[in-house]
Chains A and B, each alone.
Chain A
Amino acid sequence: QSVLTQPPSASGTPGQRVTISCSGRSSNIGSNTVNWYQHFPGTAPKLLIYRNYQRPSGVPDRFSGSKSGTSASLAINGLQSEDEADYYCAAWDDSLNGHWVFGGGTKLTVL
């Protein structure tokens, strides 16, 4: 059972906008920033969003992040077939001397 809660799956058609939610608590998302990762199985995860909404260079602006209270969201605009992957959120949790926690991951299917 992951500390951060994500929907196990999401889907959309090419060109659509899709959002993936990440729900936590006051000790993690409520107090700290959120990162998002894209993961194609068998490869290294890739940083998509850091500090809630910051995009590393090279990440298309189709990807955006937001945070409100104890929840965060990743939005993908103009969905493309190559976006089909697993997506994970992560945040620092202040409890128990502090540790990083992840969401369980969301498998995005492009229909």
Chain B
Amino acid sequence: QVQLKESGPGLVRPSQTLSLTCTVSGASITSGGYYWNWIRQPAGKGLEWIGRIYTSGGTNYNPSLKSRVTITIDMSRNQFSLKLTSVTAADTAVYFCARDYKFDPWGQGILVTISS
């Protein structure tokens, strides 16, 4: 059974870069032709799709975040990663990773707080 787990710092300073990694276990990240997503949820708000990456390395990003987001994939480590630059308090959220167009399964989520 495929499982995803997010990891990274829980606190990031304003104007710095948020970096998170999603580790896939139970299957190879290259099998199945899936793409891999990042999604976030600010406290008390709804879900927001950040972007996705294919195993080919191709990416799509949310237009509202595109200028600040980079998603990469490391097939040797069965991981994909998120970088969000120039963060502000508005980027404080629980960040999830999820597989493919069904968004299934999801990781457990990781709370990232932007604060000095």
Contact = CB atoms under 8 A, between A and B. Distances in A.
Interface of A: 2, 35, 37, 39, 43-47, 50, 56, 88, 90, 92, 96-105
A102 B46 contact: yes
A90 B61 CA distance: 16
Nearest to B96: A44
| Number of chain B interface residues as a range | 20 to 34
Main secondary structure of the interface of A (DSSP, over half): strand
A2 B45 CA distance: 10
Q: Which interface residue of B45, B101, B109 has the most chain A CB atoms within 10 A? A: B101
B52 to A, nearest CB: 8
B89 to A, nearest CB: 19
Q: Which interface residue of B49, B61, B105 has the most chain A CB atoms within 10 A? A: B49
B77 interface: no
Contact of B61 (A44, A45, A99, A103): A99
Contacts of A92: 101
A101 B60 CA distance: 13
A103 B102 contact: no
20 contacts: A35-B101, A37-B103, A39-B47, A44-B96, A44-B105, A44-B106, A44-B107, A45-B96, A46-B106, A47-B103, A50-B101, A50-B102, A90-B47, A97-B60, A99-B49, A99-B61, A100-B49, A102-B48, A104-B45, A105-B46
